[in-house]
Structure 1
Amino acid sequence: LEPNDLPISSFIDDTSYPSRVTKASNDLKLRCTEFDENGNVTLVNGEYKKTELIAKYSLLPRDLRKIDSSMLPHILIRPSAILLNLLHLRVLIKHNRVLIFDAYGSTDSYTQSVFMYDLEGKLRAASADAKQAGSLPYEFRALEAVLISVTGGLESEFEGVREPVVRVLRELEEDIDRDKLRYLLIYSKKLGTFEQRARLVRDALDELLDADDDLAAMYLTAKAQGELRNENDHTEVEMLLESYHKVTDEIVQAAENLVSNIRNTEEIVKAILDANRNSLMVLDIKFTICTLGIAAGTFVAALYGMNLTNFLEESVLGFGGVSVVCGLFTAFAVMWGLKVLRRVQRLRMSGSPGM
């Protein structure tokens, strides 16, 4: 072999290596849409490096990791920002800015677009009344818009899961079918997944409500104006969070009740199937008992059918007598077998059967 005859190693000239480097570099950027204090969109699908976001909004790398890659709901309170990762929304709220991290290309892109439209309308409508007494600060208006979108998404998703489950449960009350049981299994898995997601959202709100220091730190407008709030002075945001916590708790309770109904239906179906199986077994045992009785009667006839002299061949009453004896043996065997079967079928909480 000459040196030029050797094949080129694939690991030396790997065309996929630059693509991996490009993908790794793209992972260091986040696409987001920005709203200003008047509800106007100042940036659409803009790309920020993670280092820029960390430096601009005084964040930590683990904060962006929970927003970018974590699938669990999180509500993080930072000195100058509120980070939200709830279902289809990943939002960063400042005292005068809202950043919505894009979910383009995923199944949540439509719901996120609807949320952006609603958020823009609410922020614009509320900016005109911002100077009135009793109006919510900018960060609380954005937070309420996020919670409305999340609870609305949970309610619509629950309605989409609840209707087919209720329909299948109603049909199973009339007739137990294999296809209906298969559909019930599929819907129960979907309902279990939804229940877990709703419970995680409720737990995130519950955890935030238990932290007084985080609730007081959510007043970003007052903090930007230099106003210091007491740690226990958070009635406004606490009432806001409690109202939506109750909504999510109601959704979780309704999902748990529906899951309980599915389990009860499954137990009833199993009991009915066991009862039918027992009935078939009893019927089989009865046929076996009847066969045993007939075999007991024909045993005598088989003995007399042998080519042996038994002194009854020439008797006038021989045939009738032997037939009566065979019938008595058959009846006795059948009655005895049915009596034993009835004694075994008696179920008692204590003691042996039939004692």
Structure 2
Amino acid sequence: MESVKTAPVDNQGRSAAASSKKRGAGIRAWLVIDSSGRPKLEEFEKHRIMRRTGLPARDLRILDPLLSYPSRILARERAIVVNLEHIKAIITAAEVLLLNSKDPLVAPFVRDLQSRISSMCCSSPSPEGTESAGATLDLIDKHTLCSVRTVVEPTLTSPPRARNSGRLQVPYKTCGDLTSMILPFEFRVLEVCLESLCRCLESETSTLEQEAYPVLDELTCKISTLNLERVRQIKSRLVAISGRVQKVRDELEHLLDDDTHMAEMYLTNKAIHQEVDETSNDDLENDGHSLDNERDQDPNSTNDEMRNINESSSVTKLQIEELEMLLEAYFVQIDGTLNKLSVLREYVDDTEDYINIMLDDKQNQLLHMGVLINIATLLITMAVVVTGIFGMNIKISLFKTGTKEFLQTTVGTLGGTLVLYFIAMGWGRKKLLLG
């Protein structure tokens, strides 16, 4: 009876452990940093992240540390997916979520991100600037601005009162020391990501340069197995770093070439547009019949609406140019790092060419020595043949002579061998066969 009772208990324990393991398999720790710079470590499962950020499952797979994906920056409806080397983050209009926050390479990035967001929050004109995306843009004193543009694109079906009530002023600093637009939260985070990535790649490139040039110079002075092995390792690291930098450069170039993709990265503006559209729709339902009457009374209303659309499109283009300047700054920095690696690669190739030339010269010297030895061997062999003839057991009248004739024969044989050797050398130099 005891065995019958204990079996279900064990089965229940194993099933509970299996279900617990199954539940914990899809849960990961995310470091959430809000718009005020406060970090918070939370555990989310994949479906909760998808609901929170509006991302599909394929975008979350890009951020998986266990999978190898190239560097990508993806703009979605409510978030920006950043997969740049060790930085794997999801950026929204109000917070940033980091997946591998415990990685030692990510720790400096997290500290830099917190300090940057906190400093921007403290330098804002009002503490209420972080409550909403729309409120952030209304905090700037409009008397200090040189020009004010509208962000919301008015539609032709919107009545004038609805457009005026839904208009949201976005300040642009365009004169004096006010020369730039206030960057939204997502672009400040993206800037920190690119800055950290560029700094990391630049540091690795500088370290590789400091190690590579002395080793290459030493190899040119002394060709040894140890120096060749060190150069081989440096070249492998050079190829790996060059590939990583090239992928980041290609991704930034792809973003700069796609205006639509850059426009999708304005998450704060899209949130403001959504709020304004909801307000405008409410006003349209209340004042839908007044549009036709006002158009009949004011024939210039259509022209005013078209002018407002042109102004808003020019503002949108200006905003894309702001993002272009941000991306181009780091594109130039990445391109500079790639140029350093290209110069180092050329130096490695030049060193290899020099080593090959040295080895070819050594090989030519060995071949030259081999030719000389072969010629000498041939002529000595001829002398041996003469000696062998005289050593044969035959009757020759020369054998009955004295020492004088023997010395003459020996010296004549050796002298003839040397004469033939010098004749062969002269003929080889004349035909440019020997150096």
TM-score bracket, shorter-length normalisation? 0.7 to 0.9
Given candidates 251, 257, 264, the residue that maps to 1:204 is: 251
Q: Report the residue type matching 1:128 in the other structure.
A: C
> Identity of aligned pairs, percent?
28
Q: Report the residue type matching 1:58 in the other structure.
A: G
Deviations 1:151-185 (A, max 9, x none): 00101111222211111111122221210011000
Deviations 1:259-292 (A, max 9, x none): 1211221122122112212212221221222122
Q: Which runs of 5+ in 2 are unaligned?
A: 1-10, 125-138, 141-172, 174-180, 278-311
Contact 1:29 1:48 in 2 (8 A): yes
Given candidates 369, 385, 388, the residue that maps to 1:299 is: 385
> Which residue does 1:334 correspond to in 2?
421
Distance in 2 separating the partners of 1:30 and 1:154: 28
> Which residue does 2:136 correspond to in 1?
none
> Which residue does 1:49 correspond to in 2?
45
Query: What are the equivalent positions in structure 2 for 1:70-85 lying under 5 Å apart?
Result: 70-85=68-83
The total of aligned residue pairs comes to 328
Q: Report the residue type matching 2:188 in the other structure.
A: R
- Alignment CA distance shift 1:19-1:251 (3 Å): farther
Given candidates 315, 318, 323, the residue that maps to 1:237 is: 323
Of the structure 1 ranges 53-62 and 311-320, higher mean CA displacement relative to structure 2 is found in 311-320
> Which residue does 1:7 correspond to in 2?
none
> Which residue does 1:323 correspond to in 2?
410
* TM-score calculated relative to the size of structure 1: 0.84
Given candidates 270, 275, 290, the residue that maps to 1:223 is: 270
Q: Which runs of 5+ in 1 are unaligned?
A: 1-12, 348-355
- Alignment CA distance shift 1:50-1:327 (3 Å): same
Contact 1:297 1:330 in 2 (8 A): yes
- Alignment CA distance shift 1:23-1:247 (3 Å): farther
Distance in 2 separating the partners of 1:92 and 1:163: 35
> Which residue does 2:58 correspond to in 1?
62
Matched, 1:252 2:252: no
Query: What are the equivalent positions in structure 2 for 1:137-148 lying under 5 Å apart?
Result: 137-148=184-195
Contact 2:55 2:76 in 1 (8 A): yes
> Which residue does 2:99 correspond to in 1?
101
Of the structure 1 ranges 16-25 and 133-142, higher mean CA displacement relative to structure 2 is found in 16-25
Given candidates 82, 90, 107, the residue that maps to 1:113 is: 107
| Higher fraction of helix | 2
> Which residue does 2:296 correspond to in 1?
none
- Choose between structure 1 and 2 for higher RCO, CA contacts under 8 A separated by at least 6 residues: 2
> Which residue does 2:202 correspond to in 1?
155
Contact 1:35 1:99 in 2 (8 A): yes
Deviations 1:273-323 (A, max 9, x none): 122122122212212221221221232233223333321234354224312
Contact 2:220 2:355 in 1 (8 A): no
Distance in 2 separating the partners of 1:20 and 1:246: 52
Cα deviation for residue 128 of structure 1 reads 2.7
Matched, 1:129 2:123: yes
Cα deviation for residue 238 of structure 1 reads 0.6
Distance in 2 separating the partners of 1:213 and 1:63: 19
Of the structure 1 ranges 322-331 and 18-27, higher mean CA displacement relative to structure 2 is found in 18-27
Structure whose CA Rg is larger: 2
Root-mean-square deviation (CA), in Å? 2.7
* TM-score calculated relative to the size of structure 2: 0.69
Distance in 1 separating the partners of 2:204 and 2:398: 87
Matched, 1:174 2:237: no
> Which residue does 2:291 correspond to in 1?
none
Contact 1:296 1:329 in 2 (8 A): no
> Which residue does 1:265 correspond to in 2?
351
Distance in 2 separating the partners of 1:180 and 1:203: 34
> Secondary structure of the residue that 1:111 maps to in structure 2?
coil
Matched, 1:345 2:433: yes
Distance in 1 separating the partners of 2:45 and 2:424: 85
Q: Report the residue type matching 2:216 in the other structure.
A: L
> Which residue does 2:374 correspond to in 1?
288
- Alignment CA distance shift 1:52-1:72 (3 Å): same
